[in-house]
Amino acid sequence: MSKLSVASGSKGNQPPSSAKAHLQHGYLVVYNAVQTIGWSLIFYQLISFYLGNGNKTLYDTVRCALNVFQNAAILEVIHAATGMIRSSAVMTAFQVASRVAVVCGVLLATNSARTGLGLPLALIAWSVTEIIRYSNYTFNLVSTVPYFLKYLRYTTFIVLYPIGVTGELLCIWAAQKEVGDGRLYTIDMPNKYNFIFNYQLLLWFMMLLYIPLFPQLYMYMFGQRRKALSPPKEKST
């Protein structure tokens, strides 16, 4: 599922007070800056693909960068679990796992998901969202987040999140048909381990999870938007 901008890039932009804090701070600056550059590259490859006349498919064009920078987000689970960032490790793990499942378990594992409308929809939503998100984190770590960037972070999701979810679902739908027709990654009975695994059913289950989770997470972001963009309340005297 499209990643929400709910995690903090750090514990705030307060100056580090120890050698360990300095190292963590420097590491997070580099991590978020590299991710900003990485997703900018993916966005550039996406636009270049549609403007150019290359022989590669869209997936072949973005494959390397997409797998590197999306899977690098697994580090964010470690960041949250170790307290390097102010974010729920469980929520972060869920968001990262859902996106990694689409990139590795759907796009990398099947051919059908790479050729339909789902991939470009997902890529445009993911890349723009991540450029804005990681830029916010980087600015928060080194100075102050410009208001326009903060506004984009808490506004663009209104359109991009549904687009991303639609793209992800289209990719999964295309993949499940291919998996079902070819019995891919499926273990049928009988076998010596008395074990059964149906990858198509797992993909169906993934799609069903979007029904309860998407509205809940989408409305949560509206709540975050109100908190972030509402003017501070004046203290009563």
Nearest CA among 30, 10, 31, 32 for reference residue 21? 10
d(CA 70, CA 3): 11
Among this protein's residues, is 168 annotated catalytic?
Answer: yes
d(CA 10, CA 24): 9
Cβ(138)–Cβ(131) under 8 Å? no
Tokens 């499942």 correspond to 101
Cβ(149)–Cβ(5) under 8 Å? no
Say which of 161, 193, 218, 234 is annotated catalytic: 161
Say which of 168, 178, 193, 234 is annotated catalytic: 168
Tokens 């169906």 correspond to 204
Among this protein's residues, is 161 annotated catalytic?
Answer: yes
Which residues carry out catalysis?
A: 161, 168
